[in-house]
Amino acid sequence: MIITIDGPIATGKSTIAKTLAEEIGFIYFDTGAMFRSLTYAILKENVDYKDAETIKNFLEKFDFDIIIDHGEKHYYINKEDVTKKLRTQKVTTLVSEISALGPVREKLMEIQREFAIGVNAVFEGRDMGSTVFPDAEYKIFLTGRPEVRARRRFEEMMEKYPEESQNLTFEKMLEEINRRDTFDSTRKISPLRQAEDAFVIDTSDITIEEVVFKILEYKDTTSTVRE
């Protein structure tokens, strides 16, 4: 069974998807981390991603894997553990542009669908319910006011990456969130979009636990209706 959770940045998607997956014994896939891994590799190898032929060749030999070690997920690109490099400012700045490229989306969609074969999983991202898994059993779409999301992400960055965040302000974060939201939802291929049959939850004024509870409630009531 596949459950998809989509929505813009800092709606609590990752924590919610992870908590939900743990609660019901499903595997959890953070597809943003996949786009970030690929972006990191492009930066590291200095790939001319604007050139169609170059990106095609790069994607053909792109070797991606996820390994779970002591319960923690590690992302590997060409046998290098890139997990700790995924949230750096450089990767964050470029990832929207990279994830708007058609061949990149096709390649990652192929990998995501392969990961989904024969497992019970929660897939979290931007287009999981609308494009990658249109037949998913349950689709959730999370929303939230930009100011609330910017505050959350700002506090998270200050706590987790204090050195990198020295010049960061709430205003800059809000600007960055609005920029990425616009970019992700207006790109030509597979934009951030709510699937028509998704269950929508505004996470601005409720806790992670309350959101997970709402999803579980929704899952239980719809499965009764479906039976």
Could you list the residues that contact ligand DC (CB under 6 A)?
9, 31-32, 35-36, 95-96, 99, 125-128, 180, 184
- Residue 138 parent element (H or E): strand 138-143
How many whole angstroms separate alpha carbon 4 and alpha carbon 28?
10
Minimum distance between the CB of residue 106 and ligand DC, rounded to whole angstroms?
12
Specify the residue, 36 or 152, whose C-beta has the smaller distance to ligand DC: 36
The residue (of 193 and 214) whose beta carbon lies closer to ligand DC is 193
Nearest approach in angstroms of CB 226 to ligand DC is: 26
Parallel, antiparallel, or unpaired: how do β-strands 72-77 and 64-69 relate? antiparallel
Euclidean distance between CA atoms 151 and 170, whole angstroms: 6
CB of 38 to ligand DC, least distance (A): 9
Strand 121-125 relative to strand 138-143, pairing: unpaired
Judged by DSSP in three states, 77 sits in strand
Query: Is 47 or 86 the residue whose CB approaches ligand DC more closely?
Result: 86
SS3 142: strand
* Residue 4 CB, nearest approach to ligand DC (Å): 9
When the beta carbons of 152 and 180 are compared against ligand DC, the nearer one is 180
